[in-house]
Amino acid sequence: MLASDAAHPVEKAFSRIEQPIMLITGNYDSQVNNNFILSVLRSRPWKTPVIHASILGAGHYPHYLQYPYFCLLLRRFFLEGRSPTATARVQVETIS
């Protein structure tokens, strides 16, 4: 989310989601406020599981330089239907 997005009521939009959510971030993102969206996701229990996966060393586009880790996260979440596991370059947090 950009700084200007902080005024937008994102909680209302998130409350309508009925599928599991996985947020993938890079810990060197200079374009999006990861802390803001994480505070929204942590603010209440959701109808669906919420997982945050942070790729260490990645920026705004984690699939560019950290492509193998990005694929690992997608494979575990979408193809295997489970939460990704942490690695040396990936931190995983279950929010709800």
Instruction: Report residue 2's pLDDT band, with 50, 70 and 90 as the boundaries.
Output: low
For residues 55 and 82, give the distance between their C-alpha atoms in angstroms, rounded to a whole number.
18
Q: What is the pLDDT of residues 19-51, one digit of tens each?
A: 888 999 988 888 888 888 888 888 877 888 899
- Top pLDDT among 79 and 14 is at 79
For the domain spanning 3-94, the CATH number is 3.40.50
Give the chain's mean pLDDT. 85
Residue 8: pLDDT over 80: no
**pTM of the prediction?**
0.82
What percentage of the chain reaches a pLDDT higher than 90? 35
Q: Where are the domains of the chain?
A: 3-94
| Among candidate residues 81, 73, 76, the one with its CA nearest the CA of residue 53 | 73
For residues 49 and 36, give the distance between their C-alpha atoms in angstroms, rounded to a whole number.
19
Task: Please report, as a single letter, which amino acid is at residue 82.
Answer: R
**DSSP structural state of residue 11:** H
C-beta of residue 92 within 8 angstroms of C-beta of residue 74 = no
